[in-house]
Amino acid sequence: MKIKALALVSGGLDSLLAAKLIQDQGIEVTGVHFKIPFCKLDIKKSFPDIGIKLLEFDLGAEFLSLIRNPRYGFGSNMNPCIDCKILMFTKAKELLSELRADFIVTGEVLGQRPMSQNKQALGLIKQRSGLDDLLLRPLSAQFFPLSLPEREGWVKRDKLLNFNGRMRTPQMQLAKKLGISKYANPAGGCLLTDPCFSKRLEELLWHEELSLDNLVLLRVGRHFRIEKKSRLVVGRNENENRLLAQLAMPGDYLFFPQNDLAGPTSLARGPMTQELIYLSSQITSAYSDTIGLKNMEVSYRNIPETKDNLHKVDCLPKSRFVHLLV
């Protein structure tokens, strides 16, 4: 009977190496990637072809519940790493029977991350997910008791490793030995570890506006809290301008500088009065190329309307609005 493993892959080097080590022992490996709203990586582009099938599952809605009240708290920013792993590992266990696999492989390295990869946390994650000895961590396996795959002889323990700590040199050397030259940056792809993004998320939670649509918006532009339940997002470049136009939902407002001026597309979400529309137009003008101008025209429309409204605003410096920045 062919033994099969599910390898949880994040897109980073560690999970890639773990999957490869098990594959090289003759195990049929399927890569499983759990997508959350805070992941910057496109797994299908970042994960190199090592001859394994790659499956992607979306945890968006379930992750929203987790982020509101993580049982084991946050890391240095808004990263609930222990709760996140328990959720993913629990889902992975459910996939074992569905995908007819025998055990789970992860790329965790003992001591690499202070919150979620110390020995106590790793034991807690294994227990709370219900995986117990169905979980194999090949890169640090020699620090842990025998797993089921090792006891059954599916995997040879002497071919598993004893990586420990935060140094990346052993992983890079192993990658070179295995012929792997392309892999994601070691910093990882989770926005929850980014202080700026975490500040925006915390502000969103405080205003009770957490939703998948608003989370996507957090990843774009400069954010201004213009009223208790209203925010303005100002594009920082041409790509963000296009993305904001695409993300606009019914009820949102889009703002554009007059045609002969370079400047941002801005998106306002939430209740909008005429005063807030004017304020949003002024902020849009402050980030436009208005050198030498005392005033300019800004066009705006309420989605899904296609007709633009136009009004003239005074050109004010960015410093006038810095207190509204999130």
The tally of domains found in the chain comes to 2
Specify if 209 maps to a domain.
no
Residue 188's pLDDT is what? 53
Q: Are residues 176 and 238 in the same domain?
A: no
Specify if 179 maps to a domain.
yes
Residue 158's pLDDT is what? 95
**pLDDT truncated to tens, each residue of the chain (326 aa)?**
789 999 999 888 999 999 999 999 999 999 999 988 887 777 877 787 888 999 999 988 888 888 988 999 998 889 899 999 999 999 999 999 999 999 999 999 999 988 888 999 999 999 999 999 999 999 999 999 999 999 999 999 999 999 999 888 999 999 999 988 877 665 456 888 889 899 999 999 999 999 989 998 999 999 999 999 999 999 999 999 999 999 999 999 999 998 878 899 999 999 999 999 999 999 999 999 888 789 899 999 999 998 999 989 998 899 999 999 99
Q: Are residues 177 and 85 in the same domain?
A: yes
Max Cα separation, the chain?
Answer: 78
Q: Are residues 27 and 151 in the same domain?
A: yes
Report the first-to-last Cα separation within the chain, whole angstroms.
57
Q: Are residues 131 and 226 in the same domain?
A: no
Specify if 203 maps to a domain.
no
SS3 229: coil
CB 171 within 8 A of CB 188: no
Residue 113's pLDDT is what? 85
Q: Are residues 164 and 277 in the same domain?
A: no
Q: Which domain holds residue 15?
A: 4-190
Question: What are the residues whose beta carbons fall under 8 Å from the beta carbon of 143, sequence distance 6 or more?
Answer: 110, 119, 162, 164
Q: Are residues 173 and 224 in the same domain?
A: no
Q: Are residues 100 and 230 in the same domain?
A: no
Q: Are residues 137 and 226 in the same domain?
A: no
Residue 43's pLDDT is what? 81
CATH number at residue 75: 3.40.50.620
Q: For the sheet containing 295-302, what is the strand order?
A: 222-227, 230-234, 266-269, 253-257, 295-302, 309-314
Q: Are residues 171 and 292 in the same domain?
A: no
| 189, amino acid identity | G
Q: Are residues 118 and 28 in the same domain?
A: yes
Q: Are residues 156 and 109 in the same domain?
A: yes
Specify if 91 maps to a domain.
yes
The reported pTM is 0.85
Residue 186's pLDDT is what? 55
Q: Strand 230-234 to strand 222-227: parallel, antiparallel, or no bridges (unpaired)?
A: antiparallel
